[in-house]
Structure 1
Amino acid sequence: MHDTPHQRPERLDAILADAAKAGFAMSCEDRTGSLLATLAASNPVARSWS
């Protein structure tokens, strides 16, 4: 099964580098991040804030 997300936010690599530099080792996998982004975008209240 090929379920790797096709798109990654442009700033994601810089964010992950900053997290690693700060010693944070609990960043989620790309698939989990994609799911969380989809869930956040499907929330009508979250969409009304942008």
Structure 2
Amino acid sequence: MGGSGILPGAEKKVLTFSEKDLKAVLLEEYDWQPAMVRDLLNRLKRRKDA
């Protein structure tokens, strides 16, 4: 497998949803800690800006 982080055969798709909805799902459904959610959002924003 390559190091692209995309599953073999998977198409690259752009998902659109609000930051509020993403936070709610991670905090409520997956029991993430607020710091983990902030870190993930910051990393995603940095990748988008790169």
User: If the length of structure 2 is used for normalisation, what is the TM-score?
Assistant: 0.37
Q: Which has the higher contact order (CA 8 A, sep 6+)?
A: 1
User: If the length of structure 1 is used for normalisation, what is the TM-score?
Assistant: 0.37
